Chains A and B, each alone.
Chain A
Amino acid sequence: MRKSLMIASILAMTGFAAVVLAPAKPAFAGDQLTVTSWGGALQKSMRGAYFEPFSKVTGIKVTEDEWNGEIAKIRAMVESKTVSWDVVDGDRRSAIQLCNEGILEKIDWTRLGLDRSKFIGGDKYDCGVPSFISATVVAYDKDKLPNGPKTMADLFDLKKFPGKRGLWKNPYQNLEWALVADGVATKDVYAVLSTPEGVDRAFKKLDTIKKDVVWWEAGAQPPQLLADGQVVMTSAWNGRVYDAIKNSGKHFGIMWDAEMWGADLWVIPRGGPRLDDAYKFIAFASSAQAQADLTHYISYGPTNKDALALVDAPILPDLPTAPEHMANSIETNHAFWAERGDELRQRFTAWLAK
Chain B
Amino acid sequence: MSTTVVQIAGEPDTVPLRLKLQRIERRRKLKAVTLVLPLLLFILFAFVLPIGQMMFNAVHDSTLLTLMPRTTAALRAWDGKDLPDEVAYAALAGDLSQAWEQKTMGAIGKRMNYELPGTGSEFTSSAQKARTLSAGPYKAALIEISPLWARHDVWSLLKRGSSAYTAYYLLRSVDYQYGPDSQIVASPPDNSIFRMIFLRTLGISIAVTAATLLLGFPLAYLLATLPPKTSNLLMIMVVLPFWTSLLVRTTAWVVLLQQHGVVNDVLLALHLISQPAELIYNRVGTVLAMTHIQLPFTLLPIYSVMKTIPPIHVRAARSLGAGPFYAFWKVYFPQTLPGIAAGCLLTFILCLGYYITPALVGGPNDQMISYFVAHYTNEELNWGMASALGAILLTATLLLYYVFNKLVGVDRIKLG
Interface residues of A (CB under 8 A from B): 1-2, 5, 8-9, 12-13, 16, 20, 70-72, 75, 97, 100-102, 164, 169, 214-215, 228-230, 338-340, 342-343, 345-347, 349-354
Contact of B191 among A2, A16, A347 (CB under 8 A): A347
Chain A nearest CB: distance from B51 CB in Å? 16
Could you tell me if B37 and A12 are in contact, using CB atoms closer than 8 angstroms? Answer: yes
Q: Does B45 contact A (CB under 8 A)?
A: yes
The answer to whether B106 touches A100, judged by C-beta atoms less than 8 angstroms apart, is yes
B364-A352 in contact (CB<8A): yes
Could you tell me if A354 and B365 are in contact, using CB atoms closer than 8 angstroms?
Answer: yes
State the Cβ distance, B12 to closest chain A Cβ, in Å: 24
- Nearest CB of chain B from residue A290's CB, rounded to whole Å: 32
Q: Which of A72, A100, A228, A345 contacts B124 (CB 8 A)?
A: A100
Query: Across the interface, do B260 and A339 meet the contact criterion of CB distance under 8 Å?
Result: no
B20 at the interface (CB under 8 A from A): no
Given contact pairs A13-B41, A164-B259, A347-B190, a sample of 16 additional A-B residue pairs in the complex whose CB atoms are under 8 Å apart: A8-B34, A12-B37, A16-B41, A16-B42, A20-B45, A70-B378, A75-B381, A215-B363, A228-B260, A230-B260, A343-B113, A347-B191, A349-B193, A349-B375, A350-B190, A353-B193
Q: In the bound complex, do residue B118 and residue A343 qualify as a contact, i.e. CB atoms below 8 Å apart?
A: yes
Chain A contact residues, majority secondary structure: helix
How far, in whole Å, are A352 and B193 apart by their CA atoms in the complex? 10
| Chain B 32-47 near chain A by CB (<8 Å), digits 1 or 0 | 0010011001100100
Cβ of B230 to closest chain A Cβ, rounded Å: 40
**Of the candidates B34, B103, B118, which one forms a contact with A9 in the assembled complex, judged by CB atoms under 8 Å apart?**
B34
Q: State A174–B365 Cα separation when bound (angstroms).
A: 18
Question: B209 near A: Cβ within 8 Å?
Answer: no
Contact residues in B for A164 (Cβ distance below 8 Å): 259
Which one of B27, B191, B258 contacts A346 once the chains associate, using CB atoms below 8 Å? Answer: B191
Residues of A contacting B377 in the complex (Cβ-Cβ under 8 angstroms) = 72
Known: A8-B34, A16-B41, A347-B191. A102 touches B118 (CB 8 A): no
Question: Which residue of B has the minimal Cβ distance to A213?
Answer: B364
- When the two chains form their complex, are residues A342 and B113 in contact, meaning their CB atoms are under 8 A apart? yes
A230-B34 contact given A102-B103, A349-B375, CB 8 Å threshold: no
What is the chain B residue whose CB lies nearest that of A351?
B190
Question: Taking the complex as formed, is B330 at the interface, i.e. its CB lies under 8 A from any CB of chain A?
Answer: no
Q: A353 contacts B118, CB within 8 Å?
A: no
Chain B CB count within 10 A is highest, among A5, A215, A229, A354, for A354
Give the Cβ gap from A166 to chain B, nearest Cβ, in Å.
11
Chain B residues whose CB sits within 8 angstroms of the CB of A8 once the complex forms: 34
- A69 CB → nearest B CB, Å: 9
Q: Is the CB of B107 within 8 A of A101?
A: yes
| Subset of 30 A-B contacts with CB under 8 Å | A2-B27, A2-B30, A5-B30, A5-B34, A9-B34, A12-B38, A13-B37, A16-B38, A16-B41, A70-B379, A71-B381, A72-B379, A100-B105, A100-B106, A214-B281, A228-B260, A229-B259, A339-B118, A339-B120, A340-B118, A340-B121, A342-B110, A342-B120, A343-B118, A349-B375, A350-B193, A352-B364, A353-B364, A353-B372, A354-B193
